[in-house]
Amino acid sequence: MSLTLLAVQTLNGLQLGILLFLVAAGLTLVFGVMDFINLAHGVQYMLGAYLAVAAFQLTGGFWSALPLALLAALACGLALEFVVFRRLYDRSHLDQVLATFGVIIFLNEAVKTIWGAAPLSVPLPALLDGSIPLTETLAYPVYRVALIGAGIAVAALLYLLVTRTRLGMLVRAGASDAEMVAALGVDIRRLFMLVFGFGAMLAGFAGILAAPIFSVEPGMGDNLLILAFVVIVIGGIGSIRGAFLSALIIGLTDTLGRSFATDLARLLLPPAAANDVGPALASMLIYVLMAAVLFVRPAGLFPVRSA
Partner 1 sequence: MMAPSSRLRDVLMPLVLFGALAAVPLYATLADDRFILLFATRIAVMALAALSLNFILGFAGLVSFGHAAFIGIGAYAVGILAENDIWGAWISLPLAVLAAGLFALVTGAISLKTRGVHFIMITLAFGQMAYYTATSLSAYGGDDGLTLWGRSEFLDTPVFSDDTWFFYLVLALLAGAYGLLRRICGSRFGRVLAGARQSELRLEALGVSPYAYRLVAYCLAAMIAALAGALMANQAEFVSPSAMSWHRSGELIVMCLLGGLGSLHGAILGAIAFMVLEEGLSGVTEHWRLIFGPLLVLVVLYGRGGLLGLLDLGKRS
Residues 106-145 that bind partner 1 (CB under 8 A): 106-110, 112-113
Cα 8 to Cα 89, 138, 255, 259, distances in angstroms: 43, 9, 10, 11
Taking the C-alpha atoms of residue 262 and residue 271, their distance in angstroms, rounded to an integer, is: 9
Q: CA torsion angle for 248, 46, 208, 232 (degrees, to 10)? A: -20
Contact positions with partner 1 (CB under 8 A) in 18-47: 31, 37
Query: Across the strands, what pairs with 297?
Result: none
The least distance separating partner 1 from the CB of residue 68, rounded to whole angstroms, comes to 26
Candidates 15-23, 44-52, 139-147, 230-238; binding stretch for partner 1 (CB under 8 A): 230-238
Q: Which of residues 32 and 151 has its CB atom nearest to partner 1 in the complex?
A: 32
Distance (Å, whole) CA 69 – CA 82? 20
8 Å CB contact between 235 and 297? no
What DSSP element (H or E) covers 74? helix 62-83
Could you say whether residue 67 binds partner 1 (CB under 8 A)?
no
Query: Is 93 or 189 the residue whose CB approaches partner 1 more closely?
Result: 93
- Does the protein bind partner 1 through residue 226 (CB under 8 A)? yes
Q: Which of 101, 116, 118, 184 binds partner 1 (CB under 8 A)?
A: 101
300 bridge partner residues: none
The answer to whether 300 and 242 have CB atoms below 8 angstroms apart is yes
Q: How far is CA 19 from CA 37, 78, 100, 260, 288, in A?
A: 20, 21, 22, 22, 21
Residues that contact partner 1, how many (by CB under 8 A): 44
Q: Does 82 bind partner 1 (CB under 8 A)?
A: no
Could you say whether residue 94 binds partner 1 (CB under 8 A)? yes
CB of 29 to partner 1, least distance (A): 15
Instruction: For residue 287, state whether it binds partner 1 (rule: CB under 8 A).
Output: yes
Applying CB under 8 A, the residues found at the interface with partner 1 are: 31, 37, 84, 87-88, 91, 93-95, 97-99, 101-110, 112-113, 222, 226, 229-230, 233, 237, 275-277, 279-280, 283-284, 287-288, 290-291, 294-295, 298
